[in-house]
Amino acid sequence: MNVPLYEKVWMWAAGGLIVAFVATVLITAIGGALQPPSHVETIDPAKVWTDARFKDQGVTATANGATVVALGMMFAFVPNEIHVPAHRPVTFRLTSSDVTHGFEIVGTNGNTMLVPGYVSQFTTTFDRPGEYLIVCNEYCGIGHHLMSAKLVVEERTP
Ligand code: CUA
């Protein structure tokens, strides 16, 4: 078969791109970047309501910051309203009791997936007091667009 040189160049270029794309997926997967945050801590999604780490949802505040324990489920966050102090590190510990949800605090860098079977954890500091919207940013079913909560960042004296 007689393939003109110009066509050969494009065939090799297209083949090279396919190899590059597959290599990108494999390298990131093997490198561990495709795992959820804190993927070492697992939890039985059917028992999150009685698990010692998640049965008391809410905020524990100390002089140095706060810890928030919250759950995502179809189609709500528990608790629905979270009050945290400004200017101090706030650690969020989150999981899902059913399917994969998102937890995005709009306008901040607080954002993680809630993957059933895993505990997601991140720490951030809010410098602007006020009300923030928390939304689910992973499509989780018919009521996905209704799944939201409120974060209230409060100016507190120590
Ligand atoms: Cu939960 Cu979308």
Q: What is the pLDDT of residue 34?
A: 58
pLDDT tens digits along 21-78? 999 888 877 776 556 555 668 899 899 899 999 989 999 988 888 999 999 999 999 9
Q: How far apart are CA 42 and CA 78, in angstroms?
A: 19
10 ligand 1 Cβ < 6 A: no
**Cα of 137 from ligand 1 centre, angstroms:** 6
Shortest-distance atom of ligand 1 to CA 145: 2
Question: Rounded CA gap, 147 and 100, in Å?
Answer: 13
Residue among 135, 116, 122 at smallest CA distance from 68:
122
Q: Which atom of ligand 1 is nearest to the CA of 143?
A: 2
